[in-house]
Amino acid sequence: DTGVSQNPRHKITKRGQNVTFRCDPISEHNRLYWYRQTLGQGPEFLTYFQNEAQLEKSRLLSDRFSAERPKGSFSTLEIQRTEQGDSAMYLCASSLGGVPQHFGDGTRLSIL
Amino acid sequence: GENVEQHPSTLSVQEGDSAVIKCTYSDSASNYFPWYKQELGKGPQLIIDIRSNVGEKKDQRIAVTLNKTAKHFSLHITETQPEDSAVYFCAASQRGGADGLTFGKGTHLIIQP
């Protein structure tokens, strides 16, 4: 059990660029969750997968946000045409069957 | 949707004293309530959780209590130590936590030596 791994740890990009983050869940965890955390706030749920199926995506912040988990293992979160307001920590969590959710250390996105 | 309120936003206690953090939730269908500890530059780490069919749960110096009628739950830390200093988040979820969690805004706990 090596824990949830997120890459990169920090991403700096210019406004308008596309960015992609990767999450590797704990081995054999079938559920994978994405959250966004802004400064001084708790994590905000975005979307989740059970295996390769995306079961909830209505909470994604806009149509610029999309997520995939093509083979039911790692997942990617993409933000297109980044805006200043997208600057935040993006957290991934995984679980086996539901709870508890184990979080990674996140990817911090900075928009110049 | 669910709304979770957390108080206080900052709590300073002397080392060795107890700390209590309180949360309220709005959706009576919520049935799973975890607490997470987050240190600077790290992701949230689960410290204890409770389901709605249980009123209290303890793990060494940490305990959580749940009042379903009042829709509030609390985290109790006894004999606080410097390493307890961190930001603590409560959360709530329906369906036993299988869906996404709704978090409070966090409590910055400061342990004074």
Helices (H), A4-109: none
Mean pLDDT, chain B, rounded, equals: 95
Residues A35-92: pLDDT tens digits? 999 999 999 999 999 999 999 888 888 999 999 999 889 999 999 999 999 999 999 9
Concatenate the DSSP letters of all residues of B41-64 into one string: TS--EEEEEEETT-SEEEETTEEE
User: Residues 55 to 94 of B: which have CB under 8 A from any A CB?
Assistant: 89, 91, 93
Where residue A26 falls among pLDDT bands split at 50, 70, 90? Answer: very high
Q: Do A104 and B43 touch (CB under 8 A)?
A: yes
Chain B residues inside the 8 Å CB shell of A101: 34, 46, 97, 101
Q: What is the pLDDT of residue A56?
A: 85
* Alpha-carbon gap: A93 to the closest alpha carbon of chain B (Å): 9
Mean pLDDT, chain A, rounded, equals: 94
Residue of chain B minimizing CA distance to A92: B43
Residues B81-113: pLDDT tens digits? 999 999 999 999 987 667 799 999 999 999 999
Tell me the C-alpha distance between A31 and B1, whole Å: 22
Q: Which residue out of B6, B52, B64, B99 would a mutagenesis test of the A interface target, given it has the greatest number of A Cβ atoms within 10 Å?
A: B99
Q: What is the pLDDT of residue A46?
A: 95
What is the distance, to the nearest Å, from the Cα of residue A42 to the centroid of all Cα atoms in its chain?
Answer: 15
Spatial contact of A6 and A103, defined as CB atoms under 8 Å apart: no
* Alpha-carbon gap: B113 to the closest alpha carbon of chain A (Å): 25
Token pair of A56 as six digits: 């909830």
Tell me the C-alpha distance between A58 and B24, whole Å: 25
Quick one: which of B3, B15, B33, B1 has its CA closest to B77? B15
